[in-house]
Structure formats: C-alpha cells, structure tokens
C-alpha cells in the first residue's frame, strides 16, 4: 500500500513537472516570439509597401520557428502518431527527431510490433523509450544507443542499452525520470529494471503485459509479477 501511495505521489509530481516545463515553453518561447511577431507586423504595416519586404521576411521565419516549436510541444504532450498509427511508427519518428536533435545514432531492432497494442501499453512503452533516450543524451556521453523491442502474444519487451558512463544505482535518486517510468511500468502491471554501474553503461529492461490480466488474487503466484528493481 505504501508503495502504491508513493507511486501515486510520484506520478503527480512528475505530471506537475511536465506541466511546468510546457507552461514555461509556452510563456517564454511562444509568448516571446508572438510578441516579436506582433511588433514586426506593426512595423511592416507602417512601412511603404515596397520597403516592407525584409520585415515580413523576418516575420515569416519567426512563424516557421513557431510552427516547429508547436509541433515539438504537441509531440511531447502526446505523440499523435501513437494514436493514429501505432507504436512502431511513433517510435521510428521519435528516433528520427532524437537523432536529428542529439546526433546520437539509434540502432533499433524489433520484432512483432505490427500488431495493435492497448493504448495504455503503447504510451507506457513510448514514454519508457523516450525517457531512457533522453537520459542517454543527458548523461551517458555516447554517440550510439541500442533499442530493442519485440512482442509475442502476451508481452511487449523493451530494452534500451548504452555503453556510456553508467552510474551508481545506490546513489540517492530524487530525480523523477527513472521513477516515473518505473511507475508507468507498474501501473500496467509490468516490470522495469535498471542495470548500471560507473563505467559500465546502462541497460533498461521493461516487460509489459499486452493482455491486461483480469486482476485475480495471485497468492503464491507472485513469481512473474514481481518488480525486480535492482
């Protein structure tokens, strides 16, 4: 029970963090750009029409920037592709934009992902990969990361591996990233482990049940459901 409570608290914290980030981006970057845009348009209106070209050009490039920012933010909030097209296209798209932003190459191997997954499994899988990749970019110091995903009838497996700096698992971790994806895995009755050591790289492993089990009293059958976080 305690575990559930702290999990719930964690998720709320994470949600608030995410909102804070989005709010800041909305205010600082989008708000900022819109203000500049307004000024530019005002200026263009007061110029003779043969002189307004340069100012309008500037305004236009600002609009392009804004469009790409809005696309990025909406992808962060909810990857639309996941709902429209499914997990595999959403992951492929994520890798493409990840690599173009970070210059870290993603080696992706997958098997059996053409099926439809329940929405909560799809989003959990997506967020796990996303957070793991972000961590690789922030902390691992590598130029390549390997992502494996495969599924059989019952389970979706995900593994993200890097050969980078690694870290000490026992070090106090008040950060929300890894806790968040642990929680996400738990909420769908899956499990997630993190293996790492300084200098040894990092491996994140997740197993998410595809068929949502009917909750039953699994006394003495905890073997396969245990969260073996190490």
Ligand X SMILES: Nc1ncnc2c1ncn2[C@@H]1O[C@H](COP(=O)(O)OP(=O)(O)O)[C@@H](O)[C@H]1O
Token readout for 22 is 């989005």
Beta carbons within 8 Å of 86's beta carbon, 6+ residues apart: 114, 116, 117, 122
CB 227 within 8 A of CB 186: yes
Q: Is 157 in the site for other proteins (CB under 8 A)?
A: yes
Distance (Å, whole) CA 141 – CA 160: 15
x-marked contacts with ligand X along 202-221 as a string, rule CB under 6 A:
x-------------------
Asked whether position 182 contacts Mg ion by CB under 5 A, the answer is no
Q: Which of 92, 177, 187, 193 binds Mg ion (CB under 5 A)?
A: 177
DSSP 3-state assignment of 102? helix
Distance CA 165, CA 142 (A): 8
Residue 137 binds to other proteins (criterion: CB under 8 A): no
- Minimal distance, residue 129 CB to ligand X, in Å: 13
29 binds other proteins (CB under 8 A): no
Residue 141 CB, shortest distance to other proteins, in Å, is: 24
202 binds, among ligand X, Mg ion, other proteins, none (CB under 5 to 8 A by kind): ligand X
CB under 6 A: which stretch of 18-26, 36-44, 120-128, 164-172 binds ligand X? 164-172
| Binds 217: which of other proteins, Mg ion, ligand X, none (CB < 5-8 Å by kind) | none
Per-residue burial over 77-99, b = 16 or more CB atoms within 10 Å of its CB, e = otherwise: eebebbeeebbbebbebbbeebe
Sign of dihedral through CA atoms 106, 21, 139, 155? negative
Binds other proteins by CB under 8 A, chosen from 29, 207, 209, 210 = 207
**Candidates 5-13, 32-40, 54-62, 86-94; binding stretch for other proteins (CB under 8 A):** 86-94
Measured CA to CA, the distance from residue 58 to residue 62 in angstroms comes to: 6
Distance CA 132, CA 204 (A): 7
201 in Cβ contact with 161 (< 8 Å): yes
Distance linking the first and last C-alpha atoms of the chain: 20
Q: Is 84 in the site for other proteins (CB under 8 A)?
A: yes
Q: Which residues bind Mg ion (CB under 5 A)?
A: 135, 177
Q: Which residues bind other proteins (CB under 8 A)?
A: 81, 84-85, 88-89, 92-93, 108-114, 148, 150, 155, 157, 159, 191, 193, 205, 207, 223-224, 228
Q: Which residues bind ligand X (CB under 6 A)?
A: 135-136, 138-140, 162, 164-167, 173, 175-178, 202
């Amino acid at each position: 029970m305690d575990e559930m409570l702290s999990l719930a608290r964690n998720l709320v914290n994470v949600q608030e963090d995410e909102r804070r980030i989005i709010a800041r981006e909305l205010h600082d970057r989008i708000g900022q750009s819109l203000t500049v845009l307004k000024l530019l348009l005002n200026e263009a209106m007061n110029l003779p029409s043969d002189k307004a070209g340069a100012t309008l050009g500037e305004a236009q490039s600002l609009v392009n920037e804004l469009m790409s920012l809005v696309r990025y933010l909406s992808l962060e909030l909810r990857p639309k592709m996941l709902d429209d097209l499914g997990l595999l296209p959403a992951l492929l798209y994520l890798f493409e934009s990840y690599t173009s932003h970070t210059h870290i190459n993603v080696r992706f191997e997958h098997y059996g992902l053409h099926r439809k997954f329940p929405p909560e499994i799809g989003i959990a899988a997506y967020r796990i990969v996303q957070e793991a990749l972000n961590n690789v970019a922030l902390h691992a110091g590598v130029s390549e990361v390997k992502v494996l995903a495969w599924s059989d009838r019952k389970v979706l497996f995900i593994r993200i591996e890097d050969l980078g700096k690694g870290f000490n698992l026992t070090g106090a971790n008040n950060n929300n990233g890894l806790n968040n994806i642990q929680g996400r895995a738990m909420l769908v009755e899956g499990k997630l482990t993190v293996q790492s050591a300084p200098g040894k790289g990092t491996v994140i492993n997740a197993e998410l049940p595809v068929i949502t089990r009917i909750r039953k009293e699994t006394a003495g059958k905890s073997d396969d459901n245990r969260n073996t976080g190490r």
